[in-house]
Every structure is written in structure tokens, then in C-alpha cells.
Chain A
Amino acid sequence: MKETDFNTSYKPSWCPGCGNFGIFIALKNALVELGLKPENVLLVAGIGCSGNVANFLKSYTWHSLHGRALPSAIGAKLANKDLTVIVMAGDGDGYGEGMAHFIHAVRGNANITYITHDNQLYALTTGQSAPTTEKGTKTKSTPDGLIDERANPMSLALAAGGGFVSRGFSGNANHLKELIKKAITHEGFSLVDVFQPCVTFNKVNTFKYFFDRLYNLDEKPGYDNTNILMAYQEALVWGDKIAYGLLYQNQRPSYDQGLPQLKGQALAKRLVKVKNIDQLVREFA
């Protein structure tokens, strides 16, 4: 397999220079290097520019409703644990309408990978403020400046019990590819929040903005990504410097490991036949 084997006949419709390209390429390369085949991958896409990836990645694909990608992915993974389930959603999609699902998905720790395309605004609806938009930012929906505080996916995920909390940057596709590989192989819910500059609507959080600020945690001396307090500290760094890479990882059991009935063959592969209910009925006699 090579990267282009994961292309459909549809050409990506993202704007030239869009940060989504970097994520798309990193994902395809990660899949190739992990030896995965299109039929063993279930991509669950949200709604927004990021969600349009549904048409571009050659795999089994579920194109969900806005904000609802995570629950569908969790259901699919519990039902067929043999599939590699990858969720792609935007920051508006995933942290706005999908915020409750996000927190509970982190808590539940189903064995899926969540890649958020974080461009810090709503792009497909032409540039309104998102939950990740900087306070004070003027957008179409906040012409006098955003009053709300910025949501922080890293600290939220850590607080909800996240077992794999990471941040990537679409300007560093190689780093991102490695991060996605780690996330996919992690047993449990893995978050990869990717800074993905919107070249059309976001004139502040540009590629240059991130190149000037990002520092790679993998290269930070003494950083221990199994230490949650260190992770919190890095999650809260914001402004002139911003950390990226794997902030935190632990090995707590994934959701399916709490279900003895999921041991053995994947649920979806078991033959559906009439179930004997005699013993169950006896209880009502």
C-alpha cells in the first residue's frame, strides 16, 4: 500500500493552502505505515470543512451529523472491535455541538482515535467564532469581540480522564503522522487536536503564528508524558509559547475491556440466529 491508495476518485475541495491537507496526508501515511487496508478502516467524519474528508479518504466511511461523530464511532467500535475507527471532526463541530459527547467519550475510553481539525473558528459556515476562538476575537457572529473564554481541549481531556492527550500541527506533517500512528496503536480513546490554520477566514492563527510559537514536547528535556501534573502545566501554556506533541498517556483499560461479552469474536462477526429465551422467560413464571 502507498499513500495514494487511500485516495478516492474525489479531489479534495479544500481551499489551496488549507491546513486540512497536512492532516489528510499525515493520516494516509500513518495508515500505510501501520499496514492498514481501506476495508479495515472506518472513518467517521463530522460536518464542516474537516468532515468533507469523508469523500476523499478511501475507506469505509460514516459521514455523521454535525457534532455527532464520536457516538457513532464508539457504537461502531464496540460492535466491531476489528475495525480501526478514526474520527475526524472540526473544533466547532467537536467542541461546540459535540462538546458533551467529547467529554463522555474521553471518560468512556472506547478504543478509537479522535483527530480534530482545530482552526479556531467555523470555516464552512464562513467564519464565525468557535469554542476554541481566542477571547476578544471579532468574527461575523461576534462583531464586537468574543466575550466567552477559549475552550482548552487539552486540559478538558485531562480533566475528563483522558488516556492519550496530544496536540499536532498540520505544518509539521511528519510529526503529525508519527503522533497519529501512536494514537491509533494506543488501546483506548486517543485525542489528537491538530492546529490547522484556515487560510481563508483566520488571519490571526496562521501557519506563521504557530511556527513562531510551537515547541515540541518530545524535544523538551525532562518532560515525562506519563506525569499528569506536567501535562496540565503544558496544557495551560498559551500565548507566546504553545506546546505540541504527546502531552499525556496512560494505560487504563479501554471501554470494551469492561465488557466480558466482547471477548472473542467481534460482535458484528457473530452469526445472528434465533436466541433461546427459555431460561430468561422462566424468571417471569
Chain B
Amino acid sequence: MVNKKQNKIFSAKSRNNLTWKIGGEAGFGIMSAGLMFGKIFMRTGYEIFDYTEYPSLIRGGHNTYQLVVDTKPVNSINRQVDILIALNQNTVVQNFSEINNGGALIYDSDKVKVVAAKLADKQIKALAIPLTTLAKEAGGELMRNVVALGASLCLVGQTLTIANKIVKENFSKKGQIIVDNNIKALKAGYDFAKKNIKEEFVCQLPTLPAKDNILISANEALALGAIAGGLGFYAAYPMTPSSSILHYLARIAEKTGLVVKHAEDEISVANMALGAAHVGVRSMIGTSGGGFSLMTETLGLVSLTETPLVMVNVQRAGPATGLPTWTEQADLQFILHAAQGDFPRIIMAPGDAGEAFTMGHQALNLADMYQMPVIILSDKLIGEGYTTIARLNTKNVKINRGKILTQAQLSKIKEYRRYKLTADGISPRTLPGMKDGLFIANSDEHDSYGFSNEDSQNRVEQVDKRNRKLLEFAKTMPKPLIYGNPKAKKTVVFWGSNKGVILDSYVALPDKIKSKIRIMQYQYLWPFDGEFTKKILNTSKEILIIENNPNGQLANLIAQETGIKIQNKLLKYDGRPFFREDIINALKKF
């Protein structure tokens, strides 16, 4: 795909966007360098989206960090990159083909060899920098990444003012010597590039007016949302790609008054959190699909005892250990059906970090209001990926604890029944410690007091009561979101993290294509809004569903709930997210 405009990338004086990628072995500091680069550009007024690829190991292997810098909000990546930084030969072997025509390659001339003919072929400018030597001179080989960062900044016309500040912030905990060495390394890379690059090599990303943005992952945003919403107990067992929720919450636990428990396994995780929820503390657990498999036993208990619990599944590519560090959206059908028996649950899926924040606090409310499990389905792409969003605040955060009786209310009740049959199915709770509010939270089917009960009529009454809660929630559940031209007859359907790539690609389309397309996003997947779905899909001439799984799990859910079978599916299940090129091509053909 030769694009003539792109040949001029590095002679242009300024541009609106840039894709930068750095590759090397695990342990080379790829991600920390990448995040610093991202933060530098956020502070320079740009929007950021990043994407990492790494194998499940601590040393060796091939790691890459890709960063999209844009003047406009960005939530997706291109396959092609403008600047590639190769800290090792493997990066050249594996990622060279991704460099845009006219792009740049910065490589460590101490370690990497580049064939000149290959460069000429794509008009790629190469900058050989003795990264290892310069890093050693600055104080240690490990800082190759920071030397490369300095060189990259020079290449795009930035000064080191903001970068020095970020380096200081980043390394201050490690002591002044480390800070000083890294600043030296940054300058060494910058100076080397300045001396050795020719004028036409320089592209400009000028400093823009600062925005009030933050750079955050959906995992952290979700955690922050839950904190804002009064989370009191979080339990987890480490599992990629959910672990950064655990790490973040554990780090801030003491100062926020939160209890974080890393338990012995996900079974214990779920039951501990349930114990905390039972006595009235807002509780959440987080894992990925494998851990959720262990939690399924408890999921049924959450629903049967009508205890509020938020469960987060940050999906990765399964089954079994699968592709532990890669992305996929293949747990929807699993979560819909997880655990024996037929019982209500609420399932929601954030499309980006901002939605993850919102769901973090809303899920706690819904769990309390409807006394049932609320499951948040996220995935590796957004869970671990960093993006710029407007600074988060608590303006829209509200606390609704649902029906919890006060001691005064309870004292007026003659004979308290925890599982009393009510019109909406929701029975007021008491919390252990309250006088006259005793009950059994029973894993056996139970009567309205909580006593084990196997009677036919009671069974039906209790099942129906629990199900009524879901019907009640369905009445107020937000509808799927519509983007694009709401009257268009071509409808694109998606859920979860594909939001970024679909909306970014849509924006890039010519107006005459755009006007023919509307896009429907499901934030809530269960209960399922069949009526709204039918209204949209029955007025569509063509439907395209886009999912990161092999069989179209939302498509199957839609078929189950509406009878509408979507034939046109764009599915990807190689562990990689959709690239913008994938979606633009699909929408142009659509």
C-alpha cells in the first residue's frame, strides 16, 4: 500500500499524528520508555493510544510497544508505523515491514545490522545510533531505551524540557543518581540525533495548547471508578491481563481505606469478597477467563444468596492458558451461561477507559440495587492499553445502596423476612450486627427467612422473585448506543473494546460513506435489549458485526434473543486487536 503523501512524512514541517514503535527483548524497558514517550506527548497537548505486544515471560522474547500520537482523540492503532526503534535485530526482522514508506528506523548500531537496499526500497530513513555505547557512557546499558527516547524526541522536533521532567517523575523513587543518569542518557540520544540527522529527516510535532487530560488504562480507570463509588473490599489472584487492577488498588489501599486481599486462588477470592459483601461492604473481584472459570461455582451462590458483588473479567485469548498476554473477546457466551442453574446476572462491557470508569461505580450501585452479581467484561486491549481521556472526576458519581434497612426501620417490622416476596423481586436487606434482622444467607434453596426449603411452591416463588429483579432492571437499563447517521440503513454492530478502532476508522471515512452508516454499541449485554435490537436491525438493509472472537458471540446472542441471524461478520481471533486498516477496508466495502 504505497501512499504518496506518506513519502513526505519526514520532510513536512508539521503533522497531526504519528505512530511510534519500539521493540526489543523483555527486560529492555520497552514499556517504561513507551509510557514516558506517551506522557511527554500528552503534556505537549496531544492525544495518545498505546498497544503492547509481549510474550508471557520476564526475560528474552520479543516485546513491542506501539504509540499513536494525534491532535484528535485516538483510541486505536494502525498496522503501519512512522518511526520504528529497534533495540535488537529481532525487531528489524519482525517489524521492518510495518514501517510506512518514507518512515524512519532508529536502531542500535552496536547490536543491529540493517541492509541498505531494503531501506532504499521503501525510502526509509535510517538513523544508526550506538545506543548501547551511549547508554553505558551515561551510566548503564539498561538505559538504551532512554537514549532512544531522546533521539526520537529530536526527530519530531521536541525539546527535552518536558521529557526531563517526566524522567524525574518516573525515576525519583529510585534515587538522584538514577534520575541524573537517565537525564544524561536522554540528552545523549537527543544530541546524537541532532548532530547526525539531515534536515529532511525532521518531522515536526509542535507543542499544542495543553489539555486537561490524563493517560490511563481501562484497568486503572475501572479501579478508580470503583474507588469513587465507595469500594471497600477488593480480592484477586494475579492473572494477566487483569493484574494491574490488583496492583493499582493494592498500592492505594491504605490511603483510601480499602482492603485488598490477594487470596490463594480465585475460588477463595470470590468467597472472601462475598463474605465482605454479605456484611455490607462494597466488594469487587477481578480476574481473566481462567480465573473466572474457578469463580463460576461462587457466581451461582452470589445470585442465590442475593448478595451484591461486582466481578471483573479482563478477557485474554483462551481456552485454557491460551495466549496469556494477547487480546480476545471470547468469554461473552461463557459469562452468559457460567455456573449451574438458571439465574439472573447483569453483564456490561466497557468500550474504553472512560466507560470503564463509569462502569466501575455504576456496577457497585446496580449490585446493591438488584442484589445480584454484576459482571464487567473488559479485555487486554483496553485493560492494559493506555489512552488519553479527559481528567476523571466524580461529578456523575452517585451512591445508591439499594434497599438496606436501617435499625429504626427494622425495629418496626414484626417478623423480618430477608427473602420476602415483593412485586419487583427486591427484598430489603439487613446487615449482620443489626438487631432483629437475623437471616440465613443460604446456598440451599430457601424460604423467605432463608431456611432450607425444598417445597415445590416455595421453589417456584423464590426463582420467580429472583428473576423479577432482572426484569425490573431491564426497565431502566440504558439502550445500546447509536453513532453515525441514526437513519442510515447500513448498521455496524459491536461490543466492548472494538469501540475505539471502529469509531476512529469511521471518522476517517469520506462523508459519502459515513452518511450511509450507523453504528450500534452494546454496553449492556445481559439482560439483552431484544426490542431495541429488533427495531434497529429490522430497519437495516445491511448489517455487519465486528467481534474479536472466532464465532461471533454477540451475533449468536442476537440470534437467540431476536431470531435475526447476522451473516456478515468481521471476526478476528489471532490474539491481535483490529487495526484501523482492517476496519477502514471493511467499511469501504460494506
Contacts and interface: CB of A to CB of B under 8 A. Distances in A.
Nearest to B269: A71
B280 A79 contact: yes
Interface string B280-296: 11110000000000000
Classify chain B: how many residues form its interface, as a range: 35 or more
Interface stretch (A25-33, A173-181, A260-268): A260-268
Contacts of A262: 259
A275 B272 contact: no
Interface in A213-264: 259-262
A79 B281 contact: yes
Given A61-B450, A78-B233, A275-B227, A270 B257 contact: yes
Given A61-B450, A260-B254, A273 B399 contact: yes
A55 B452 contact: yes
B298 A281 contact: no
Nearest to B233: A79
B207 interface: no
Interface stretch (B52-60, B89-97, B389-397, B481-489): B389-397
Interface in A134-177: none
A10 B451 contact: yes
Contacts of B267: 68, 71, 101
A76 B280 CA distance: 9
Contacts of A274: 228-230, 394, 397-399
A75 B444 CA distance: 21
A269 B452 CA distance: 29
A117 interface: no
B271 A268 contact: no
Interface string B342-360: 0000000000000000000
A78 B438 contact: no
B569 interface: no
A76 B279 contact: yes
Nearest to B280: A268
A274 B396 CA distance: 10
A210 B26 CA distance: 61
Interface string B232-271: 1101000000000000000011101111010111011111
A71 B268 contact: yes
B216 A284 contact: yes
A199 interface: no
B497 to A, nearest CB: 19
A44 interface: yes
Contacts of B61: none
Contacts of A275: 227-230, 256, 394
B271 A267 contact: no
A280 B252 contact: yes
A47 interface: yes
B268 A267 contact: no
A277 B394 contact: yes
A284 B215 contact: yes
A58 B440 CA distance: 9
B543 to A, nearest CB: 38
A65 B297 contact: yes
B259 A277 contact: no
Interface stretch (A16-24, A35-43, A187-195): A35-43
B435 A39 contact: yes
Contact of B444 (A8, A63, A281): A63
Interface string B208-224: 00001111100010001
A276 B394 contact: yes
Given A64-B443, A101-B264, A267 B233 contact: yes
Nearest to B258: A261
Given A272-B399, A272-B401, A42 B279 contact: yes
A59 B435 CA distance: 10
Given A75-B274, A75-B275, A273-B399, A60 B265 contact: no
A60 B438 contact: yes
B278 A281 contact: no
Interface string B395-415: 001110100000000000000
A10 B391 CA distance: 56
A272 B230 contact: yes
Contacts of A83: 279, 432-433
A214 B463 CA distance: 49
Interface residues of A, number: 56
Contacts of B154: none
A61 B264 contact: no
Contacts of B437: 39, 60
Contact of A80 (B227, B252, B432, B436): B432
Contacts of A59: 438
A39 B438 contact: yes
Contact of B298 (A62, A65, A77, A103): A65
A2 interface: no
B261 A78 contact: yes
A277 to B, nearest CB: 5
Interface string A40-52: 1010100100001
A173 B224 CA distance: 51
A195 B274 CA distance: 30
Given A39-B438, A274-B394, A277-B224, A62 B275 contact: yes
Nearest to A276: B394
B162 interface: no
A38 B437 CA distance: 10
B434 interface: yes
A169 B391 CA distance: 62
Given A63-B441, A75-B273, A78-B261, A273 B230 contact: yes
Given A55-B452, A268-B431, A281-B392, A71 B263 contact: yes
Contact of B433 (A259, A268, A281, A284): A268
Interface string A65-90: 10010111111111110110000000
Contacts of A54: 440, 442, 452
Given A61-B441, A72-B272, A284-B216, A259 B280 contact: no
Nearest to B396: A274
B275 A261 contact: no
Q: Which 3 A-B pairs have the closest CB atoms?
A: A75-B275, A75-B272, A71-B271
Interface of B: 212-216, 220, 224, 227-230, 232-233, 235, 252-254, 256-259, 261, 263-265, 267-283, 297-298, 301, 305, 391-394, 397-399, 401, 431-444, 450-452
24 contacts: A8-B451, A55-B451, A55-B452, A64-B301, A65-B271, A71-B270, A72-B275, A75-B275, A76-B275, A76-B279, A79-B279, A79-B280, A100-B268, A261-B253, A261-B256, A262-B259, A267-B232, A268-B279, A272-B399, A272-B401, A274-B399, A275-B228, A275-B230, A277-B393
Given A72-B271, A76-B276, A260-B254, 12 more contacts: A39-B435, A62-B275, A62-B440, A75-B261, A76-B278, A76-B432, A78-B272, A80-B432, A267-B233, A268-B279, A277-B228, A281-B224
Interface of A: 8, 10, 38-40, 42, 44, 47, 52, 54-55, 58-65, 68, 70-80, 82-83, 100-101, 103-104, 259-262, 267-270, 272-278, 280-281, 284-285
